[in-house]
């Protein structure tokens, strides 16, 4: 019983860490896209992504809007 509870607890903590990291990354990207005149690929690289396509997918999943569309709403 204790082992099962411990595994569930670890999995829950892992989900929280992943969610928090994604949220922080998205927030940094939003700041870069709105305050700096950067291409989306450059902003993606600055927040830790090696490929802009991966960044686009994660940003769209978190914000329900593609990074370029998000950027265009502020320009």
Query: Mean pLDDT across the stretch 8-13?
Result: 84
pLDDT grade, residue 40 (50/70/90)?
very high
- Residue 52's domain is classified under what CATH number? 1.10.10.60
Q: Select from 2, 71, 3 the least CA-distant residue to 37.
A: 71
CB 29 within 8 A of CB 57: no
Q: What was the pLDDT predicted at 23?
A: 80
Q: What was the pLDDT predicted at 43?
A: 92
Q: Model confidence over 15-26: pLDDT tens digits?
A: 888 777 778 888
Residues contacting residue 28 through CB under 8 Å, at least 6 positions apart:
46, 47
Average pLDDT, the chain: 86
Q: What was the pLDDT predicted at 36?
A: 87
Q: What was the pLDDT predicted at 4?
A: 76
Q: How far apart are CA 53 and CA 7, in angstroms?
A: 33
Domain count, the chain: 1
| Domain span including residue 48 | 2-73
């Amino acid at each position: 019983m204790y082992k099962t509870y411990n595994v569930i607890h670890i999995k829950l903590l892992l989900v929280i860490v992943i969610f928090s990291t994604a949220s922080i990354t998205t927030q940094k990207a939003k700041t870069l896209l709105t305050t700096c005149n950067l291409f989306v690929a450059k902003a993606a690289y600055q927040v830790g992504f090696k490929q802009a396509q991966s960044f686009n997918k994660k940003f769209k999943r978190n914000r329900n809007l593609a990074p370029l569309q998000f950027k265009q709403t502020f320009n």
